[in-house]
Structure 1
Amino acid sequence: MTAPVLEKPAVQPAPAGAPRPAAGGAAPDRPAAPPARRRFLQGAWAACLAAALVLGFVGYLFTLSHLQEKHYQSTAYKTFRDQLARAVAPTGSAADGDPVALLDIPAIGLHQAVVVEGTTGRDLMRGPGHRRDTALPGQSGVSVVFGRGATFGAPFAELSGLRVGDRIEATTGQGKFTYTVTTYGDGDHPIGDPARDRLVLVTGDSDWIPGSTVLIGARLEGAPAQNPGGRPATVPYDKALAADKGALATLQLWSLGLLGAVFGALVLARYWRRSAAYLSLAPVVGALLWAVYENAAALLPNLY
């Protein structure tokens, strides 16, 4: 008996307009995304990137800035203790950011805080700041010290919790001095204490974006130290709630550097292994992003 012969099915012609299969049986390329969808995806990607940058800045303000201030305080404390031991701690005007005093306020849990010279936004990133045109703590006259209430360690976050009779201790190159809290004030009601030798502590009135100030006045107990005078004049950025507008140009430069580093990483990834390219430039991008955030923070009110 003869086996039946199987006929091959006829190949049906492809309909008009259908994509032809690639050589070797490979699947045809996917059609390009419509322009509207492509624009939507690009906009969504840009929005996600902007949101990530904003969230990163918030994280920097309320987490990393505290670590930054703590690191500076640790270094400045060692420097100032050494200056005290060698009797070379400043008793007159000093350079911006230099340590000039130690501050203890037990009632709000502030211990051995290093007070730096200057009250600009950058100065107060390092800790409480002494207003340059006033006496140093312990000297005859009025001494004014600013402190942040929310970011960069927030040394004066609990300042409004001080009560009449609470003690404040200050240590400078001229010795150790004690103040007693006597009065309060704010941006609309300045302290009018007639005492000659006193200390005024200043911070913002809110742990969000402050709109006014909180003032605490304290009188010096005992005899004051000599005030050498010759204090420099303040600059606009020294005022309470002032923003350091000088940081704007620096912010722009660091931002350009960050964009350049990101672009460089993308270009490098095209000619090298992608993971290796990104990992190699990640520390550079991270350092530049930190600098961008720090300069952006200087544009916020200095007591924030």
Structure 2
Amino acid sequence: MLAAALLLGFAGYVTALSGLQEQHVQSTAYKTFRDRLANAVAPTGPTDPGAPVAVIGIPAIGLHDTVVVEGTSGRDLMRGPGHRRDTVLPGQHGVSVLFGRGTAFGAPFAGLARLRAGDRIEVTTGQGAFTYTVNAFGDGDRPIADTAADRLVLVTAGPGALPGRTVLVGARLEGGPQPAPGGRPALPAGERALAADTAALGGLQLWALALLGSVAVLTAAVRRWHAAAAWTSLAPVPVALLWAVYENAAALLPNLY
């Protein structure tokens, strides 16, 4: 029964509570990126994973002023859409690739399959505002075949409880591109489409041990102390630790989920 309760709780975290977490991170990231734009210090080249690098809007699917972060690991995509680090930033010369979750953590790219040719994608970076027009579609088995030099590719998970394929949407840049600085890193295995963030496994084990310890302390306190006082003072600790356990467990899911 305890295992079932934990699994149900995890399902509730992934499908509902994770979205609240993503909203909080997005709010903070938007303020940070807005200040960097105002001070002309927003990144235009390689930067730290998780740092805000752009704001994207796709009116056709109701996506507005959503912050794009650097990196596409499971942890990065908990913050919002992620920029694949081995590609140029949106608006720069070349092909830019953005990943986004389709179910958990706000599911910013859940509506990609509803896009149609001619829909517009608006992106703002440290180099200005850019508009892309949707013109191509594909999936993991049928990659987009567009040969235009300046493009944007959006990637999310296909349908299903545990998706095994991807959905791709391609768009062409309207107008001229900005220059792209060199020095792009190679893409780690954990940042590829549908990869799991295996680095979270160690954290999951440590947080689970901490959770068990806190439950043991709470149980002992309830038996030896005033029960109401013990619950009031100590119960928030295992709740916070359970949240950390769920977050690390979610990082082990496919990063586009």
Q: TM-score, normalised on structure 1? A: 0.84
Query: In 2, Cα distance between the equivalents of 1:186 and 1:63?
Result: 27
Q: CA deviation at 1:208?
A: 2.3
Q: CA deviation at 1:264?
A: 0.6
Q: 168, 193, 198: which is aligned to 2:146?
A: 193
Query: In 2, Cα distance between the equivalents of 1:209 and 1:149?
Result: 11
> Are 1:271 and 2:232 matched, yes or no?
no
Structure of larger gyration radius: 1
Q: CA deviation at 1:158?
A: 0.5
Alignment of 1:1-304 (within 5 A): 48-206=1-159, 208-304=161-257
Query: In 2, Cα distance between the equivalents of 1:63 and 1:205?
Result: 19
Aligned-residue sequence identity (percent) comes to: 69
Query: In 1, Cα distance between the equivalents of 2:222 and 2:22?
Result: 36
Moved more, 200-209 or 243-252: 200-209
Structure 2 counterpart SS, 1:244 = coil
The answer for unaligned runs of 5 or more in structure 1 is 1-47
Number of residue pairs aligned between Structure 1 and Structure 2: 257
Query: In 1, Cα distance between the equivalents of 2:14 and 2:104?
Result: 6
Letter in 2 for 1:147: G
Structure 2 counterpart SS, 1:291 = helix
Q: TM-score, normalised on structure 2? A: 0.99
Structure 1 moving runs of 4+ over 3 Å: none
The answer for unaligned runs of 5 or more in structure 2 is none
Query: In 2, Cα distance between the equivalents of 1:240 and 1:147?
Result: 10
Letter in 1 for 2:34: R
Structure 2 counterpart SS, 1:69 = helix
Query: In 2, Cα distance between the equivalents of 1:176 and 1:231?
Result: 22
Q: CA deviation at 1:270?
A: 2.3
Q: CA deviation at 1:211?
A: 0.9
Letter in 2 for 1:116: V
C-alpha spacing 1:207/1:72, structure 2 compared with 1 (3 Å): farther
Query: In 1, Cα distance between the equivalents of 2:138 and 2:192?
Result: 16
* RMSD after superposition: 0.7
Q: CA deviation at 1:207?
A: 5.2
Structure 1 counterpart SS, 2:179 = coil
C-alpha spacing 1:151/1:207, structure 2 compared with 1 (3 Å): farther
Structure 1 counterpart SS, 2:173 = strand
Structure 2 counterpart SS, 1:104 = strand
Q: Which of the pair has the greater relative contact order for Cα pairs under 8 Å at 6+ separation?
A: 2
C-alpha spacing 1:207/1:115, structure 2 compared with 1 (3 Å): farther
